[in-house]
Amino acid sequence: MSGGLRGIAGKVAFVTGGASGIGAATCRRLSEEGARVAVVDIDAQGAERIAEEVEGLAVACDVADTAAVREAVATVERALGPVDLLVNNAGTDEFGFLVETTEEQWDRVLAINLRGVIACTHALLAGMQERRRGRIVNVASEAGRIGSRGSSVYSAAKAGVIGFTKAVAREAARYGVTCNAVAPGPIETPLLMAAPEHFGERGRRLIEVMVSSTAMRRIGRPEEVAGVIAFLCSDDASYVTGETIGVSGGLGMM
């Protein structure tokens, strides 16, 4: 079924981290707008579940593995055709003050949140430029703009995503390809909502502080982020590139 946004119907979308949270909501929204969706996630069963729901294609892939990313792209393009819409949503965090973290944690957070974005974009951008069309939307975070206590490496990775978005936008604009980012604040995702379970009182307090820092004083829903991502994928955003749009209840302006 085609929705109300122009230029999405019939397009092929490659959504990383599509098995849950913002990624799953984005798969649903793009499908509603008429896109053919590849649900890409390291969680193969979760990807299958969402793919069945949106009548899309499930692809198991670890975005931190460049070879796996290229294999996933090849699988999607064989099955669905050239990718028109790339949503780099896969991400993770390992909450903890910097002095408590390890090099292994840094590597994991940077590999998924930043290197994965670079790998997926590198694998798909050349084709988009050759066809002179394409939309890239990177899921950053307000943590990348204002910093987040207890998420220093994650904040660094997301700041990198924002800088990468601007650079790719400058390189790709002359080919008709746009590249934008969204910066969610506290969103009701499995990652954030599991913080109290994994970190006890510190995790509970983390969510409370994030929510109280927003102007709207509430946690956001994945669908609210997905709506902005869908807009940036559409022809309604054809003159928007290099931007980072906050979806954070006003957290970024505080």
Report the number of distinct structural domains present in the chain.
1
pLDDT(2) > 60: no
What's the token pair of residue 205?
């307090």
pTM (two decimals): 0.93
pLDDT(205) > 80: no
- Helix axis angle for 66-80 and 116-131, nearest 10°, is 40
| 1 is a domain residue | no
pLDDT digits (tens, 9 = 90+) for 17-50: 999 999 999 999 999 999 999 999 999 999 999 9
pLDDT digits (tens, 9 = 90+) for 89-110: 999 988 788 999 999 999 999 9
| 155 is a domain residue | yes
| 92 is a domain residue | yes
pLDDT digits (tens, 9 = 90+) for 52-67: 999 999 999 999 999 9
**Confidence band (pLDDT; 50, 70, 90) for 252?**
confident
Q: Cα separation of 108 and 117, whole Å?
A: 13
pLDDT value for 202? 67
- CATH number, residue 229: 3.40.50.720
When pLDDT is averaged across residues 174-186 and rounded to a whole number, the result is 96
**Confidence band (pLDDT; 50, 70, 90) for 212?**
confident
What's the token pair of residue 24?
């799953």
What amino acid is encoded at 43 in this protein?
Answer: D
| 141 is a domain residue | yes
Q: Comparing 72 with 201, which gets the higher pLDDT? A: 72
| 6 is a domain residue | no
Q: Comparing 51 with 210, which gets the higher pLDDT? A: 51
- Domain range for 51 is 12-187+221-246
Backbone angles phi, psi at 118, to 5 degrees: -65, -45
Please report, rounded to a whole number, the percentage of residues in the chain having pLDDT higher than 90: 78
154 carries an active-site annotation: yes
pLDDT(201) > 90: no
If you ran DSSP here, which 8-state letter would residue 114 be given?
Answer: I
End-to-end CA distance of the chain: 39
pLDDT value for 13? 98
pLDDT value for 206? 74
Catalytic residue among 154, 169, 178, 249: 154
Q: Cα separation of 235 and 225, whole Å?
A: 18
| 83 is a domain residue | yes
